[in-house]
Chain A
């Protein structure tokens, strides 16, 4: 731009930039740090410090409700991220292994729909559909939650996979065909190995998103099907105990680990 050439514009040179940056970081991290610190609180209160203790971790660990909710959350997240990643990989292959085509934008929009439609709308819609199925079939198992989670995890898995595919040289597939590989062999030996980091990243992102979901889960779950987040929400409605802090901190650690792995996998591009 012409503006740029005359006077090199730098946002860091604006007055108050560093103040704004510091405030932003404080707003982002003070609550998290507070939560982590109070998860080690010996007192029953969430607001008064009563000395260091691991008792809430032990308490949460021994709580059968927490145990059940954790197992349920993991089962749903593993199944949903598996399904979502498979579907997303196929969708990404279908939408990128060719030149520009008619309706490309519409297809992208359709795939990414869960990112744009308010989650509460999806939740209500799913509730209505699943309720009628429940009435008709009498089945009230985990499948509803797995299906619902798979659906909204697809775009999260799709985006890193598509990015990886778009950065991939199409000539590589042509070259493998030239070297006598059938389309399936070319996929197995060239496309898939090169795509693997994207798929892993997509799966991890989907896993974290599923693990974290409250709104859709709250609407879709049958009685006694609390996941970890909905269990915590239920706890907060009664009395806030540092147990919730402890569970949150454990989730935070897990998420940070997964996201670090995600970062490492997507960074290794060549």
Chain B
């Protein structure tokens, strides 16, 4: 079915092209604001953002539950913007699972295949295969109300995967599970994705989930996509303050551009590329694990005072104040002795790992 020359489009599973969604009513809400994103075939793609950022709205549009106010949604290059959900080869795992309470586990999983008018034997075989895939073989005849939350989650997954959709949409599917089960399901989802070869679009507000599971992440805020990239890319090179703050922990510093370097608020000059003219005020970010803490009078670096030391077992978070009062958190791995002797009030020096300080867009 592949035609030569369409390879660029063939590689894309889903494209949103300048999609906007305005919810009417007395106060207009712009849930999505001119969003464009291209999701590749077979990738685990995550839409990450705080609640109300538009990630679920975008997902519902790809599923066909909600029409965009403007813009186009394409599936494998085909315009599906106005196709109803039952005509899209896309399935959804719902946040509350939405299992049919009057059907057995097997009935739930077979629903989509039956609606696709598959033969009885085919449905039966595929249901069994799915039950095996999610390791629920023994529960085929159970009713959903007789299942635990984790089991319901697996049935919901199996039901959505059974018709072998081109794209699987997952709407915060792990949010209702407890921590241990959630970790288990994260691994499980990765396994299912690589075993089935289906494109997964995953919605979450949990940055750790996004970092550990995804091939690529789109960080969203207030109806816009701020940055798309691999988890590493987004963690190391956040484009702006929101992304840096939302993904992991970050220290924000301020400085003024001086030539090809930046003069920091406490007077030191750091070699940071900004691409902005001299005299411009810039915000910079540095991760706590990239802060090197030394002994005052022995190691070089900017002087700082410990204001608080929080012990976390594997590491200690040192809250520091630089000469001008700028707060800074350093994460230090704990030595075998368990104590680095840095208490509140201790004088230390601070350096940053090479390339660890990043200038942010405003």
Are A178 and B63 also in contact (CB < 8 A) when A169-B96, A171-B96 are? Answer: yes
- Chain B residues whose CB sits within 8 angstroms of the CB of A193 once the complex forms: 102
Is B362 in contact with chain A by the CB < 8 A criterion?
no
A194 and B101 form a contact (CB under 8 A): yes
Tell whether A180 pairs with B102 under 8 Å between CB atoms, given A174-B65, A174-B85: no
CB-contact partner of B91 in A178, A186, A189, under 8 A: A178
- Mark interface residues in B120-144 (1 if CB within 8 Å of A CB, else 0): 0000000000000000000000000
Contact B100 A190 (CB under 8 A): yes
Q: Which residues of B are found within 8 Å of A176, using beta-carbon distances?
A: 100, 111, 115
Check if B116 is an interface residue, CB within 8 A of chain A: yes
Is A185 positioned at the interface, with any CB of B under 8 Å from its CB?
yes
Number of interface residues of A (CB under 8 A): 20
Instruction: Select which of A172, A180, A189, A194 is within 8 A of B116 by beta carbon.
Output: A180
Set A172, A182, A194: member contacting B86, Cβ < 8 A: A182
> Is A179 in contact with B101, judged by CB distance below 8 angstroms?
no
Main SS at interface, chain B: mixed
Number of A-B contacts (CB under 8 A): 61
Smallest CB separation, B362 vs chain A (Å) = 39
CB distance from B343 to the nearest CB of A (A): 46
- Looking at the complex, which one of B63, B86, B145 makes contact with A181 (CB distance below 8 Å)? B86
Q: How far is the CB of B288 from chain A (nearest CB, A)?
A: 41
Interchain CB contact under 8 A, B84 and A177: yes
8 A Cβ contacts from A183-227 to B: 183, 185-186, 189-190, 193-194
CA distance A240 to B276 in the complex (A): 105
The yes or no answer to A270 lying at the interface (CB within 8 A) is yes
Complex partner residue of A194 from B90, B102, B111, CB under 8 angstroms? B102
Contacts of A179 in B (CB 8 A): 86, 91, 111-112, 115, 159-160, 163
B353 at the A/B interface (Cβ < 8 Å)?
Answer: no
List A residues at the B interface (Cβ < 8 Å). Answer: 169, 171-172, 174-183, 185-186, 189-190, 193-194, 270
Q: 24 A-B Cβ contacts within 8 A?
A: A169-B96, A171-B94, A171-B96, A172-B98, A174-B65, A175-B92, A175-B100, A176-B111, A177-B64, A177-B65, A177-B85, A178-B85, A178-B90, A178-B91, A178-B92, A179-B91, A179-B112, A179-B115, A180-B112, A180-B116, A182-B86, A185-B115, A186-B86, A189-B111
